[in-house]
């Protein structure tokens, strides 16, 4: 209780103090109009919240009725300003109106750096329809995480960037190697499709550690569509789609980022660099990033075994863009390489097979993407894309000096896409063909496990996006898929309706279907393997694909009140998963040193609930946001291990609160509070004598960050930041200990209290 009161007091202080400052700043002043005009001037740069330079913004000094307009580089200038007290107003199409603090001009001119916030209704999104559209015209609800929001979270990788999102949870699933998965509306990570620039190249193997391997330097923005997206993206898009969009530069410049963190006293270092180059005509752009991370192991409970593993990674990437104005075409080429070594357990100075427990993973990930977009006319355009990613992994999952626990995996994935779009009156007709090929080579010869499988999926999709009038829009889509492990064609329809009921109120409803094809490689292969025995999974000869049927419906409300902005939304959702995959142990199998499991179809399962969001922005100073999800999840028949009908690791209630205060003269302050409710977590014997099903405690996690920006000239600046994650050290209290611990019995926050500081130098 005292922690909750402390949080309320802190949040109250940060609301009250800035509000008093704003109230004082906007008191009327009486300027002496008898003074003569001098040569004082005002100038500055207008940017969007995402860093883009804004042209043709109108800048107004109300006291003088004097205006100016920003140029192609976002620059503006107001000349002949007499001494006095003034404030600026800025107006730009698609952005919220800006009002500055009261300032005084005496003898010197003044320079401003003004950031405008884009109206939600003017946000361009692509994930829901695979075509660029204004958010207010998209029938499918899309959550957008901007570059600015990623910076506010001080995210160092993708998993941290998608935190604090309504209906989305990132959880740690292993006490040794700390692999994470993302749950959308309560469904496990294997039911979500992660895209890199619209391409589903994140395979089951890559996804086990991939959320932490994508560095923040690579991220431009993230779009999340909850619910079945298979009509456009194929298998595994059952719970939703997370589309990671990499950076396209808006201006020349470079940024160096240094982040030093102490996790329970153990160091974590993150260093990144990114640079952009744009030609004078703006037709050719290049973006390069590199990142280095190093983390020492953290033993939270003092038993000699790590809870936060040792990690070192190096990342590099390059994006190239070229626009061909003569034919109205655009080419994008991307390359990235990610290498990572992570290790958890004990005795880190010894080889893995000389320790009591070790999970060691060496990853080498190479990705290459090419995309061509071409407008043949104002009504007809198409895009072609190819993406290739190759993942290699050398592993050790073992205990008690087990020499059999070494293994290796290879996973090349290729994705081909072609899409044609035609605007026929009120209809935007789209059709496309896709191919995804994947090869899995996984060897753990000491356990007699060898996987050498190839999966192929062909997809044909059609879509009609029709806007009947300013009130009613309808999106109808159908995908035909042929998967190499499924004998029949798979039909996935989707239907979405948008009603703009009033200027500030819209209603969206989506009916969707999805599927998940059989596979033999996912995170199941890794968790149980640390008990001294390997794990082999085989698909039943009678196994069929899982199907999902979902409906979601909700209201969005947004209104400008003076210089303030209110955003609210509420959404109900229901997903039925038919023929749910289950693993059962084969008791009579001759293979030694390994547990053999068979994947079969179980009963149906369902997840349903309500999500709600509320946001309030006071001028450009204070931004308050909160989002909560209340849900239930059930199996139609009890699962075999504990006889439970609840889906494991799925809390009934979870949510967040964020509060940001921005003041260029003082500090930027960002606070967030995360809540995770009680949930059922399986706890297997080893450290404890018998298997049992636990009910976890709820968690409140408070995070805070302060940033001070220092200008060093026209484009040079340094941002100094200092912050804390999990300030109250809200962490799991009943961790297993020792060599026989259940590494999968871990829940709650991903790490204990951590203090960090650093700087970001832009030049």
Say whether pTM exceeds 0.85.
no
Beta carbons of 180 and 170 less than 8 angstroms apart: yes
Per-residue model confidence (pLDDT) at position 721: 95
pLDDT at 12: 47
21 domain residue, yes or no: no
Does one domain contain both 259 and 403? yes
Residue 655 burial (CB count, 10 A): 22
What pLDDT is stored for residue 28 in this prediction? 38
Q: Is residue 71 part of a domain?
A: yes
Do residues 475 and 363 both lie within one domain?
yes
Sequence-separated (6 or more) residues with CB below 8 Å from residue 2: none
> Can you spell out the DSSP letters for 141-155?
--EEE-HHHHHHTT-
Would you call 504 helix, strand, or coil by DSSP?
A: coil
Quick one: 157 and 91 in the same domain? no
Residue 44 lies in a domain: yes
Q: Is residue 14 part of a domain?
A: no
CA dihedral 192, 198, 200, 202 (to 10 degrees): -80
The pLDDT assigned to 49 comes to: 63
Radius of gyration of the chain from its Cα atoms, rounded to whole angstroms: 27
Q: Which helix (H) or strand (E) holds 124?
A: strand 124-125
Q: Are residues 455 and 584 in the same domain?
A: yes
150 and 219 Cβ atoms separated by less than 8 Å: yes
**Are 362 and 481 in a shared domain?**
yes
Last residue of a domain, one of 61, 92, 116: 116
- In a domain? residue 471: yes
Distance from C-alpha of 665 to C-alpha of 688, rounded to nearest angstrom: 56
Which distant-in-sequence residues (6+ apart) come within 8 Å of 412 by Cβ?
388, 389, 390, 391, 438, 439
Residue 56 and residue 72 in contact, taking contact as beta carbons nearer than 8 Å: no
End position of a domain, from candidates 100, 116, 132: 116
Tell me the torsion sign for CA atoms 560, 558, 219, 759: positive
Query: Would you give the DSSP letter of residue 65?
Result: T
Buried residues in 605-630 as b, exposed as e (16+ CB within 10 A): bbbbbebbbbbebbbbbbbbbbbbbe
Answer yes or no: do 441 and 462 share one domain. yes
Give the CATH number for residue 86: 2.60.40.10
Residues 275 and 259: their CA atoms lie apart, in Å, by 18
As a three-state string, the secondary structure of 415-465 is: EEEEEEEEEECCEEEEEEEEEEEEEEEEEEHHHCEEEEEEEEEEEEEEEEE
Q: Is residue 20 part of a domain?
A: no
Burial class (CB in 10 A: 0-12, 13-18, 19+), 71: middle
700 is a domain residue: yes
Same domain for 63 and 197: no
Strand partners for 642: none
10-residue stretch averages of pLDDT, the chain, 763 residues long: 44 42 38 48 79 81 82 83 85 75 79 73 65 75 86 91 92 88 86 88 84 92 81 76 88 92 95 92 91 96 93 96 91 96 94 93 95 91 94 90 88 94 91 93 76 89 91 92 88 91 89 82 54 66 85 89 83 90 71 71 89 86 92 88 88 95 86 95 90 93 93 82 95 91 89 95 90
d(CA 346, CA 176): 9
Are 169 and 41 within one domain? Answer: no
Q: Which of 116, 148, 173 is the last residue of a domain?
A: 116
CATH of the domain at 499: 2.40.170.20
Residue 5 included in any domain:
no
Find the helix or strand (DSSP H, E) in which 330 lies.
strand 329-345
8 Å CB contact between 407 and 397: yes
Q: Determine contact, residues 707/719, Cβ cutoff 8 Å.
A: yes
Do 105 and 135 sit in the same domain of this protein? no
Are 669 and 649 in contact by the 8 Å Cβ rule? The answer is no
* Nearest by Cα to 762 from 250, 237, 198: 250
- Is 588 in the same domain as 554? yes
Together in a domain, 590 and 495: yes
Instruction: Give the residues across from 554 on adjacent strands.
Output: 508, 571
The answer on 164 and 50 residing in a single domain is no
Q: What are phi and psi of 366, to 5 degrees?
A: -125, 130
> Longest C-alpha distance within the chain, in Å?
100
Q: List, in sequence order, every beta strand (DSSP E) within 49-93.
A: 58-61, 66-69, 75-81, 84-86, 89-91
Domain span at 194: 120-762
**Domains contained in the chain, number:** 2
């Amino acid at each position: 209780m005292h922690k909750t009161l402390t949080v309320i007091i802190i949040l109250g202080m940060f609301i009250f103090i800035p509000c008093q400052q704003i109230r004082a700043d906007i008191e009327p002043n009486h300027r002496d109009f008898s003074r003569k005009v001098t040569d004082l001037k005002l100038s500055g740069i207008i940017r969007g919240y995402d860093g883009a330079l804004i042209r043709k913004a109108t800048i107004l000094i109300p006291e003088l009725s004097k205006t100016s307009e920003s140029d192609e580089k976002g620059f503006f200038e107001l000349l002949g300003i007499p001494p006095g007290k003034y404030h600026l107003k800025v107006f730009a199409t698609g952005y919220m109106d800006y009002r500055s603090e009261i300032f005084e001009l005496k003898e010197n001119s003044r320079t401003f750096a003004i950031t405008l916030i884009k109206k939600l209704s003017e946000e361009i999104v692509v994930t829901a329809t695979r075509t660029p559209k204004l958010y207010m015209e998209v029938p499918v609800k899309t959550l957008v995480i901007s570059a600015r929001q990623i910076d506010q979270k001080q995210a160092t990788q993708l998993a941290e960037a998608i935190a604090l999102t309504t209906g989305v949870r990132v959880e740690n699933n292993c006490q040794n190697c700390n692999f994470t998965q993302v749950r959308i509306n309560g469904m496990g990570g294997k039911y979500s499709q992660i895209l890199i620039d619209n391409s589903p190249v994140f395979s089951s193997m890559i996804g086990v550690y991939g959320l932490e391997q994508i560095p923040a330097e690579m991220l431009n923005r993230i779009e999340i569509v909850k619910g079945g997206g298979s009509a456009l993206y194929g298998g595994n898009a059952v719970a939703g789609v997370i589309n990671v969009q990499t950076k396209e530069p808006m201006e020349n410049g470079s940024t160096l980022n240094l982040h030093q963190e102490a996790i329970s006293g153990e160091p974590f270092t993150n260093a990144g660099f990114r640079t952009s180059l744009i030609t004078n005509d703006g037709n050719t752009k290049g973006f390069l990033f590199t990142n280095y991370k190093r983390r020492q192991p953290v033993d939270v409970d003092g038993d000699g075994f790590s809870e936060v593993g040792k990690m070192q990674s190096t990342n590099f990437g390059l994006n190239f863009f070229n626009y061909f104005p003569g034919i109205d075409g655009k080419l994008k080429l991307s390359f990235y390489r990610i290498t990572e070594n992570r290790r958890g357990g004990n005795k880190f100075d010894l080889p893995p097979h000389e320790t009591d427990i070790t999970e060691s993973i060496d990853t080498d990930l190479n990705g290459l993407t090419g995309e061509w977009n071409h407008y043949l006319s104002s009504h007809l355009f198409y895009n072609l894309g190819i993406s290739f990613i190759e993942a290699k992994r050398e592993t050790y999952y073992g205990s008690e000096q087990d020499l059999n626990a070494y293994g290796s995996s290879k996973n090349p994935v290729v994705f081909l896409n072609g899409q044609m779009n035609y605007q026929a009156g009120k209809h935007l007709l789209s059709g496309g063909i896709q191919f995804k090929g994947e090869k899995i080579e996984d060897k753990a010869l000491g356990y007699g496990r060898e996987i050498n499988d190839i999966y192929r999926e062909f997809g044909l999709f059609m879509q009609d996006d029709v806007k009947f009038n300013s009130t009613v829009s309808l999106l109808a889509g159908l995908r035909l898929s042929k998967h190499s492990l499924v004998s029949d064609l798979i039909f996935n329809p989707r239907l979405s309706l948008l009603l703009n009921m009033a200027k500030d109120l819209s209603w969206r409803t989506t009916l969707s279907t999805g599927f998940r094809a059989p596979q033999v490689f996912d995170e199941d292969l890794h968790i149980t393997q640390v008990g001294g025995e390997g794990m082999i999974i085989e698909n039943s000869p009678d196994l069929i694909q899982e199907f999902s049927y979902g409906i979601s419906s909700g209201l969005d409300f947004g209104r400008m009140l003076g210089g303030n902005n209110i955003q609210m939304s509420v959404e109900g959702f229901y997903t039925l998963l038919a023929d749910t995959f289950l693993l059962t142990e084969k008791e009579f199998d001759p293979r030694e040193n390994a547990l053999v499991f068979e994947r079969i179809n179980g009963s149906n399962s369902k997840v349903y609930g309500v999500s709600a969001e509320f946001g309030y922005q006071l001028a450009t100073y204070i931004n308050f946001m909160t989002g909560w999800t209340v849900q239930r999840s059930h199996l139609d028949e009890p699962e075999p291990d504990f006889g439970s009908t609840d889906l494991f690791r799925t809390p009934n209630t979870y949510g967040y609160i964020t509060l940001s205060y921005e003041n260029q003269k003082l500090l930027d302050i960002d606070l967030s509070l995360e809540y995770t409710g009680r949930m059922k977590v399986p706890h297997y014997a080893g450290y404890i004598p018998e298997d049992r099903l636990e009910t976890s405690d709820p968690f409140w996690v408070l995070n805070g960050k302060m940033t001070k920006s220092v200008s060093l000239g026209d484009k040079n600046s340094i941002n100094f930041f200092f912050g804390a994650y999990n300030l109250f050290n809200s962490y799991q209290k009943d961790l297993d200990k020792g060599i026989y611990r259940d590494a999968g019995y871990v829940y709650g926050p991903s790490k204990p209290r951590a203090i960090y500081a650093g700087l970001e130098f832009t030049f």
